């Protein structure tokens, strides 16, 4: 295979215009030939048809999308006259999404799935309103699927039998909001302690619930919570007799750093904090689902004094709609429950109406993969993350990866490349989170384009 360096060298020799052309041709060629499909994607044309070019022009697109506000006149001019029709707009959108799906590297979403068997369920208004374990009067629900999903996660996270409660949430954020609310209901005077690299949903919970929140420094170039500083903070609150809610990051958003649960628990023990004085919440948005399949870095609610966990369903598992799951110890949820006569169920969740399709999709994905499938996915993602890391270093790009993470952090690339690959950036770094839809071929295409983009940017700079 011709590598990007060779393409770039030829283009450099031919001058800047040839460069740009080479870049465009290469982007197109690589895009069309090298990248693997998400299995769920259609397989039609990969470029917006010429007749659908309006999609790329925000003004024309907004015009085309207009929803009529006036009653259509029988013989008068239709508000939508001359604009693309609904089918054309949907076709353009489909092509756009297909392209975006193929060039996606920044956010930890598994885009490799096939839910075609569930299409027939889109004709139902499936709503699991209320508690997953207490039927409401609304009969069009998917509770049996939801409770099966909860049982599966209780098993892999080793909750004691009959000692858990949980539900399918709308996303990881809702899981964090719920878990911290449960913790606050159990410890009304508690301070929330978390690291500075924590996802914004955690300090948001503190603001929403008007809780004091302490953000602890992280270890430089590593991203885990600074255990010495955490120890000092715990010792201080412990001496005051104050309750503590600790958020432990099982994979931070940007660097994928995993706080060491064993060390955090040891700090509570070293400071003689009584069990009834703390709640440990695990924010495992991405990695929480992978952790049980990674070496012996265990997560066991049976043997560890930890209390709740939240993960996203659209990340590692792969679901087309944002969703998630949260689990907590059964005894904690009692403090949150309210009987609601109108529902004939109990109010234990953050949301009232809840997405019944999400529970069905999660169930289907888990049933299709099983424990072995998840384990294979974890191994493949780690292998490909190591491959990406190596390829970047080979290309002279500064790159880092935590041992427990498939997130590869590297120097922020030129802006057009960032946009094309939908990279998440923070300051001068960007990351690619290697997911199931990133094969080695995709990674090769990504690295080849990155090399080329850097050569072109350098050339621009030197002009």
Ligand X SMILES: Cc1ncc(COP(=O)(O)O)c(C=O)c1O
- Site residues (CB under 6 A) for ligand X? 171-173, 176, 199, 201, 249, 251-253, 283, 285, 312, 322, 324
SS3 355: strand
Toward ligand X, which CB reaches closer, 238 or 251? 251
SS3 390: helix
Toward ligand X, which CB reaches closer, 253 or 442? 253
CB of residue 291 to ligand X, shortest distance in Å: 13
CB of residue 455 to ligand X, shortest distance in Å: 32
SS3 241: coil
Toward ligand X, which CB reaches closer, 136 or 176? 176
CB of residue 258 to ligand X, shortest distance in Å: 10
Q: Which residues contact 96 (CB under 8 A, 6 or more apart)?
A: 48, 55
For 95-151, the DSSP string reads HHHHHHHHT--SS--------GGGGGGGGS--B--S-TTS--S-----HHHHHHHHH
C-alpha–C-alpha distance, residues 146 and 140, integer Å: 13
C-beta separation of 323 from 97 below 8 A: no
CB of residue 437 to ligand X, shortest distance in Å: 17
Bridge-based pairing state of the strands 308-312 and 278-283: parallel
C-alpha–C-alpha distance, residues 201 and 248, integer Å: 13
Toward ligand X, which CB reaches closer, 282 or 448? 282
Q: Which of 379, 380, 366 is nearest to 155 (CA)?
A: 366
Question: Which positions are annotated as active-site residues?
Answer: 405
CB of residue 136 to ligand X, shortest distance in Å: 25
Length of the chain: 463
C-alpha–C-alpha distance, residues 178 and 308, integer Å: 10
C-alpha–C-alpha distance, residues 413 and 128, integer Å: 44
Toward ligand X, which CB reaches closer, 281 or 329? 281
Toward ligand X, which CB reaches closer, 283 or 451? 283
C-alpha–C-alpha distance, residues 104 and 255, integer Å: 18
Toward ligand X, which CB reaches closer, 22 or 216? 216
CB of residue 152 to ligand X, shortest distance in Å: 19
C-beta separation of 463 from 424 below 8 A: no
Question: What CA dihedral angle connects 75, 79, 83 and 87, to 10 degrees?
Answer: -90
Residue nearest to ligand X (CB): 172
CB of residue 165 to ligand X, shortest distance in Å: 20
C-beta separation of 243 from 190 below 8 A: yes
Beta-strand runs (E) in 47-87:
none
């Amino acid at each position: 295979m011709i590598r990007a360096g060779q393409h770039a060298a030829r283009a450099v020799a031919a001058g800047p215009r040839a460069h740009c052309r080479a870049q465009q041709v290469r982007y197109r060629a690589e895009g069309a030939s090298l990248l693997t499909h998400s299995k769920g994607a259609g397989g039609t044309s990969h470029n917006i048809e010429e007749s659908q070019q309006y999609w790329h022009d925000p003004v024309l697109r907004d015009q085309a999308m207009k929803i009529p506000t006036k009653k259509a006149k029988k013989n008068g001019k239709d508000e939508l006259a001359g604009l693309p029709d609904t089918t054309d707009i949907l076709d353009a959108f489909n092509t756009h999404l297909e392209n975006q799906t193929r060039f996606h590297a920044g956010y930890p979403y598994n885009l490799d799935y096939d839910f075609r068997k569930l299409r027939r369920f889109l004709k139902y208004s499936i709503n699991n309103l209320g508690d997953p374990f207490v039927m409401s009067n609304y009969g069009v629900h998917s509770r049996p699927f939801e409770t099966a999903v909860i049982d599966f996660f209780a098993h892999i996270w080793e909750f004691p039998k009959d000692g858990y409660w949980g539900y399918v949430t709308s996303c990881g954020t809702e899981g964090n909001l719920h878990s911290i609310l449960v913790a606050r209901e159990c410890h009304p005077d508690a301070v929330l302690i978390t690291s500075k690299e924590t996802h914004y949903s955690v300090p948001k919970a503190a603001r929403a619930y008007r809780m004091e929140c302490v953000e602890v420094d992280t270890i430089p170039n590593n991203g885990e919570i600074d255990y010495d500083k955490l120890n000092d903070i715990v010792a201080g609150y412990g001496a005051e007799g104050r309750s503590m809610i600790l958020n432990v990051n099982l994979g931070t958003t940007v660097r994928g750093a995993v706080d060491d649960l064993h060390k955090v628990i040891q700090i509570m023990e070293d400071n003689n904090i009584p069990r009834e004085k703390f709640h440990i919440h695990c924010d495992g948005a991405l990695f929480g689902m992978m952790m049980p399949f990674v070496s012996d870095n265990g997560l066991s609610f049976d043997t560890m004094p930890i209390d709740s966990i939240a993960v996203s369903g659209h990340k590692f598992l792969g679901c087309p709609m944002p969703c998630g799951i949260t689990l907590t110890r059964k005894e904690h949820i009692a403090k949150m429950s309210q009987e609601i006569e109108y529902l004939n169920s109990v109010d234990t969740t953050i949301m009232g109406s809840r997405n019944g399709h999400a529970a069905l999709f999660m169930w289907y994905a888990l049933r299709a993969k099983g424990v072995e499938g998840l384990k294979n996915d974890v191994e493949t993602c780690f292998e490909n993350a190591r491959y990406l890391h190596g390829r970047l270093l080979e290309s002279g790009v500064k790159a880092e990866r935590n041992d427990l993470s498939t997130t590869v952090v590297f120097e922020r690339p030129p802006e057009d490349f960032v946009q094309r690959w939908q990279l998440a950036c923070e300051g001068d770094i960007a990351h690619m989170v290697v997911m199931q839809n990133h094969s080695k071929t995709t990674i090769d295409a990504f690295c080849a384009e990155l090399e080329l983009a850097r050569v072109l940017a350098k050339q621009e700079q030197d002009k």
